[in-house]
Amino acid sequence: MDDRKNIVNMSYLNSISNGDKSFLIDLIDLFFEQIPDYQEKLKYLNIKKDWQNLAKTAHKAKSAIIMMGMDDLAIELKKMEENAKEEKIIGDYQEIIVKFVNDTNSALAELRDIKEKIT
């Protein structure tokens, strides 16, 4: 890997996988499966101004993010989830979604490298 800042918290991932490479690969594969769908749903629901489903999707996406130890992004998703439920601070959603897409794309790249090294 290069000098870019790591998005995924490998210490956290290693602690929850307890050194089990097979379990770690399962977690990575689940992230690969879920994240593109969450990216598209968040963007779509924001455009459609479907705040209640945006809140639900942010909640689901937050779980995947927490599993990768991406705490800062999880906090942003939680804020969006809570605000979308009450249809508050709507102007912030786009910025959070862009951060989500950018950070998760970086995480996907990191995880591809990690998976390649452990398989």
Domain ranges of the chain: 10-114
Domain 10-114 has CATH 1.20.120: yes
For residues 113 and 107, what is the distance between their CA atoms, to the nearest angstrom?
10
Percentage above 70 pLDDT, the chain: 97
What b/e string do you get for 74-99 counting C-beta neighbours within 10 Å, with b at 16 or more? bebbebbbebbeeeeeeeebeebbee
For residues 3 and 117, what is the distance between their CA atoms, to the nearest angstrom?
17
User: Residues 36-79: pLDDT tens digits?
Assistant: 999 999 999 999 999 999 999 999 999 999 999 999 999 999 99
**Per-residue tokens: 90:** 């709507």
Who has greater pLDDT, 1 or 108?
Answer: 108
Q: What is the pLDDT of residue 3?
A: 43
